[in-house]
Amino acid sequence: MLENKSIGLVLSGGGVRGMAHIGLIKAMREHHLEAKVVAGTSVGALVGALYANDNSVEEMLTFFKETPLFQYSFFAIKKPGFIDTERYFDIFKEFFPENSFKSLERPLFVVATDLLKGNEKVFYDGELIKPLLASAALPPVFSPVEIDNVLYADGGIMNNFPKEYVDHLTDFIIGSNVSITAPLEKKDLRNSFQLTARVTSLMIHASNNEKLHQCDLFIEPKELDSIGVLDKKGIENAFNIGYEHGSRALEQLL
């Protein structure tokens, strides 16, 4: 069914749950499928960059396992946010030593949010690492990233599922959404933080749900809801869930 078709891969944001993207990529490779073009937001941009860089599944998992989320020396000083996002630059440089979109094996579109103008920005050429850091800079945990005198933050604020950037370049689109909005109980909305998180999740879901269902094949594993967005203990679990859902979806398709 997919012979002679060019595949576009779209990866959503969603923190640690994004390890499910890597599980899907493993399933794709086992079925001898490779994407021609990749688009991603936040953790989806990071996984997409590693995939576009032709890293193995094991190397992708190592990147996330060894990159610290909270490190005392990374705490922000005189910057908005608890963690100074740009302190991760050297860690990223180990995986992307040439620091350029041009060095990747396939085209990559990375979405970030321009905090000054209030719109989305897509990066696809030039310097690679800062756009990746910006796309994943979730407020208020991570500080915005400055690029050309503009402050950028998490791309999921404006566009958590950037399918439109691969639409005109491919004829078969595979999507992976890890921003799950499972039903809650009243007891789960007892404070302002929980309420804010829920409202943000619903807004993101509403703006991206239609695009997700326009994909030719997609996974949206509901089991990911039990994994915390910043809980590194959930890396293997999220990966396995993505692999299982990806394998099942591809087997049904092929």
Burial of 146 (0-12, 13-18, 19+ CB in 10 A): middle
Contacts of 122 (CB under 8 A, 6+ apart): 109, 110, 111, 162, 165
Kind plus residue range of the DSSP H or E element containing 199: helix 192-213
DSSP SS3 for 151? strand
Annotated catalytic residue, options 12, 42, 143, 247: 42
Annotated catalytic residue, options 114, 143, 154, 179: 154
d(CA 36, CA 205): 26
Please report, in angstroms and rounded to a whole number, the separation of the first and last CA atoms in the chain. 7
DSSP SS3 for 98? coil
Query: How far does CA 110 lie from the centroid of its chain?
Result: 9
DSSP SS3 for 39? strand
d(CA 43, CA 14): 6
Q: Please name which of 3, 7, 14, 80 lies closest in space to residue 47, comparing C-alpha atoms.
A: 14
84 is catalytic: no
Q: Which positions are catalytic?
A: 42, 154
